[in-house]
Chain A
């Protein structure tokens, strides 16, 4: 790891990198969708911005189907958005996202904590009081010590791999603590204090306006030390929520049943409607769509939207059971600033002008399925998104401006264009097609693209490997990204902060090395004033566009199935537009 950078960033970066393999699929692979659910004739988009089939009826079995299993069931190791959504059934956190449709779902509310944190004047101390009646599935009392122990696990990067490292890098940037397996004395984790069973205090070396967001991630969930089976904990996490694991067969199935020890009085969030929750993992996506429509399952746990054939049938025959939801994913092309001639800003701008955004949208399935043309590098749910459009993309309705593209090429010293390589993932639906479309578009102004493809799983050591990028001369990386948590930091830092550049598993694919951007992140993180943070992130976004580092092209949408028999279905911004799983019930 490059030690020259500021320590805090460094560790945050490392944390993200550790999670890289999984995160890659979680973020990059993600056509994350908000599935809207709706019962008989609940209607098209009935779960967008409102609740479809509101109900308090308890009982029944809620059946999920999924192509992909949870990355991990262990709360400290999971990084997939769907896993975070799902984890609320059995892993509670101090604070969590509000159970409200749409953007309101981004708001944090207390969960195990009685109230939001009492933050000290200097913004460095966060104090929580726990609610009464918190229990584990064996009926034992859940204490603040359990929360500290759970969080402490992420310090052991050998065993607890996969999850985000924000808490670790924020609380202990120097990584003085070694984790509970190598150092059993939790007192050595000095930044978390548990003065009594009901109180937990976090002491940050520096203020961080997003700190509570980090605690809302499942990394902040408690683990009972006596029940911690380390790597094997993933098989069957010990529950403190309304449901517990009856069985988990990796890549096959999950069955959750009611946790009798859980007390409703201790939990203002979860209605716990179904008696049982099952997840069937089935690799055949088209088949899954058919069986969703046949009523064999209620909801697709992956929340990545239906297949092309599935959504065609669904929209035609069952329009009222379909939601077209905005995800907080952005499809983009990173322009690699270390690959010639894209080191020249004018050459990069030429790409912006030459790209036919409307055609890319069409290639990926049109406005309904692919989403609207993006002008901002931030998703609409992230503070910092605005209508800044320096290249007039929206103005031209996504059409290219070849004249301006040629002018920029001239300025760049390549009046006849240039040749470079664009990468695309062959297992992401539509990405290869989009790359081919770009190849054709840019060809019109003389920019000749060669397309390199690989699987999403390999991308961390293809487009994510500095050495590979250099060797193969990758100039553009086409992929997608969604926020870890809804802030400029949780979304953009891995993408644009130079201190996040890693030899492999690199997500700053453009290799942006701009001190003003790094500083903007530091300033935004340090402030506790959301308005100020928003201003900084907005300016940062403009900078990204002005320098033409990184070219967003779509605010992704998808088409999701919502079973008519599922109740309380709504899409929440808290989980990238997915349905709020913990609220679901069945008729």
Chain B
């Protein structure tokens, strides 16, 4: 893995990046997305960095409000289009896609990348699909934005894609309207629409949240299969670690608009280094276990993005906040640091010492999972 060992990608610090394109397919450097509001500046994403290669899957995990969806929309460039009011989002940092910096690129250039180089699947396919247009029309439209072909060709392509995502009788269903589809079918159609241009990057924002459990698995399987087939880079955004457990190559755990832990999926699952990650692991639904027996999820509620707690943003909810000496958890913001002994670019931002973490994980957390 060619992850970038840049602990410097933390908030506040000037990032020493020249405009030199990185070698990674997708690289996000110190991304900040702030929204001015009447109540103050909402720092939805506040210094996030990660990278991703083609064929890889990245899972961005966090509670709602942790900034994961905002990140994905930021990559797509959707914070800056259609915002006619003066209160548009303030975005800084760098987003490199295939050697091209997106935040400084002309809007029209980014628009042309959208849907073609990078495309997106949304959480609720019912509201994300236009109710007045047939599935086919919407896919055709997505295709014809980027391909100068006649409607017939585009329609053929749509049917082909519908077939590929497992919609029965695609030549008939192509003329159906979203409300005539079941939830799973709709999400398949949504995926077909996202894949119609063979994008190199596919972002799936909570692709299974609105679906039945059984359908969820099918959709995830489908995404995996398709990734293999198309060789795209995939970002899966979820609040549920379980969703990415079998899918992701890499995991980014977000809390309060920042990354608290990131690393190879296997590392994060087997040796998670951050109490928040432990909490997320605890709240994973597992078929082999009784619901009542489950470890309590993270107590408390996500932090306000206007007044992010000082020190470690997680400290008000962290059961171990008192373990480090003094007031360090409340005053000093922990930075992402390479986990000791990890050759695999496993980073975490926690004031606990490596020993404390090792002890807590092996003695208190892991046994209960």
A/B touching: CB–CB < 8 A: no
Chain B interface (Cβ within 8 Å of chain A)? none
Chain A interface (Cβ within 8 Å of chain B)? none
